[in-house]
Amino acid sequence: MQTRKLGRSNLEVSAIGLGCMRMSFGDRPIGDRQEMIGVIRAAVERGVTFFDTAEVYGPFTNEELVGEALEPYNGEVVIATKFGFKHDGGKGPSPTTGLDSRPEQIKRVADASLKRLRVDAIDLFYQHRVDPEVPIEDVAGAVKDLIERGKVRHFGLSEAGAETIRRAHAVQPVTAIQSEYSLWWLEPENEVLPACEELGIGFVPFSPLGKGFLTGAIDESTTFDSSDIRSRIPRFSPEARKVNLSLVEMIRRIADRKGVTPAQIALAWLLARKPWIVPIPGSRTIERLEENLKAAEIELSSDDLNEIDGSLSKITIQGDRYPEIFKQMTGR
């Protein structure tokens, strides 16, 4: 597996990481714990050194899963986790309970995450969502203190805008920004990616396969269980999917020509954008894991990239990327 450095930091990770959220958290059916531990360890054996989790996933259970799976590899892998949601009556943090990035809360989360992850220091500690009630300078200052105390190694932000990134970076250098970015969500290209390039910050795309849409496995006739968040996402409505399939058809044409899968083209495209971009697709089977990792071996020619860019300029994606309740938590 090739490696990449996240921006100008000294944090070097595999070119493709592993998003672990859906292994124990989410609307769709989740995996058996021991099977998921096996997938995580299989990823390490195949060269993956970058794993993503968060306190809110579960809550807590995903960090515990990742901690158990990766304990034998302490010092060999990089684990990223996140803080930033309120705790509800001892039940833990949840996106429905709102945001909380007060410095005292950040430090409490850090101590608890260290125990669940079974590590001496958190490699990369993201603010999960920007909290409008807490100045970003206070957030950055709290993480800076944790870094100085040896509890955290690197600071990150998730779904933050360019101005917020600059303000945070002035207090404590930001190592990575994690935001949604894929062939059907290009918004980071407007301001966030240029800011990352200027400041020397790495970028970690989540949902790099568009919650499965870019794999080509979903069409307008696909049905989603009511427990599946995609049943509530506007761009996954049957009408939107019918229009949005033109994007998948373009990806499939290139994939067929190269003898690879649409998912591999979608990931290879992200890798080709910048050398400091590291996508974190979620994989819950070894088959999907291996398929995704092989994307790092695919070279897209300038003709391929021009074809993709030309097609993207003619395609208008239909539907919002989140239902209204989640859109409220993607502030800048």
Decide: 211 and 222 in contact? Cβ < 8 Å: no
In 3D, which of 82, 87, 37, 3 has the Cα closest to residue 271?
A: 3
Q: Give the whole-angstrom CA distance, residue 159 versus residue 178.
A: 6
23-37, 131-145, 287-301: lowest mean pLDDT where? 23-37
Q: Give the whole-angstrom CA distance, residue 63 versus residue 103.
A: 21
pLDDT greater than 60 at residue 331: no
Tallying the residues shown for the chain, one arrives at 332
21-35, 79-93, 153-167, 300-314: lowest mean pLDDT where? 21-35
Q: What integer is the mean pLDDT of 141-155?
A: 98
Best CATH choice for the domain 3-210+270-298 from the list 3.40.1380.10, 3.40.50.720, 3.40.50.300, 3.20.20.100:
3.20.20.100
pLDDT greater than 60 at residue 86: yes
For the chain, give percent helix, strand, coil, nearest 5: 45, 15, 40
* pLDDT category of residue 209 using cuts at 50, 70 and 90: very high
* pLDDT category of residue 311 using cuts at 50, 70 and 90: very high
pLDDT greater than 80 at residue 116: yes
What residue ranges do the domains of the chain occupy? 3-210+270-298
- Name the more confident of 7 and 90: 7
- 229 by Cβ neighbours in 10 Å (0-12 / 13-18 / 19+) ranks as middle
Look at residue 38 and give its three-state secondary structure: helix
Amino acid at 226: S
- Name the more confident of 228 and 16: 16
State yes or no: is 322 an active-site residue: no
The catalytically annotated residue of 57, 73, 181, 322 is 57
Per-residue burial over 172-184, b if 16 or more Cβ lie within 10 Å, else e, is bbbbbbbbbbbbb
Look at residue 155 and give its three-state secondary structure: strand
Residue range 3-38, pLDDT digits in tens: 999 999 999 999 999 999 999 987 666 789 999 999
Which segments of the chain does DSSP mark as H helices, in order?
A: 33-45, 61-70, 103-117, 136-148, 162-171, 192-199, 238-258, 262-273, 286-293, 302-312, 324-327
Look at residue 27 and give its three-state secondary structure: coil
